[in-house]
């Protein structure tokens, strides 16, 4: 894990912002596909928010699926949001590119 962090600290500042955001969306979608147990738990949690009637219609099930996939994508984006969140992991790497002093808080 440490080596991945070091590699990211070298690569991320050199990548364009749009690429990092697009990559975070793709990684989030792949995580949604692969992480069955986490996806199931996130779906159960979201059903508490949207209500159990969301399962009664096809459009409701589609909305639930899109919402849960969006949760995964937003989680990845929280780590990779360059310039938007300097307190995020990759936002810290991105801040290396910024001119002048950088305050991380």
The answer to whether the Cα torsion of 50, 70, 89, 94 is positive or negative is negative
**Residues 29, 73 contacting (CB under 8 angstroms):** yes
pLDDT band at 6, cuts 50/70/90?
confident
How many angstroms separate the CA atoms of 101 and 104, rounded?
10
How many angstroms separate the CA atoms of 31 and 70, rounded?
11
pLDDT tens digits for range 38-55: 999 999 999 999 998 999
Q: pTM of the full predicted structure?
A: 0.68
Task: Please give the DSSP secondary-structure letter assigned to residue 84.
Answer: T
Over 80: is that where the pLDDT of 86 sits?
no
pLDDT band at 93, cuts 50/70/90?
low
């Amino acid at each position: 894990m440490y080596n991945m962090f070091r590699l990211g600290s070298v690569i991320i500042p050199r990548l364009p912002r749009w690429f990092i955001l697009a990559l975070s969306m793709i990684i989030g979608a792949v995580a949604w596909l692969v992480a069955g147990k986490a996806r199931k738990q996130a779906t159960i949690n979201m059903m508490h928010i949207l209500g159990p009637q969301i399962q009664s219609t096809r459009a409701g099930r589609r909305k639930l699926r899109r919402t849960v996939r969006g949760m995964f994508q937003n989680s990845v984006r929280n780590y990779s949001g360059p310039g938007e969140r300097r307190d995020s992991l990759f936002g810290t790497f991105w801040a290396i590119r910024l001119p002048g002093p950088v305050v991380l808080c």
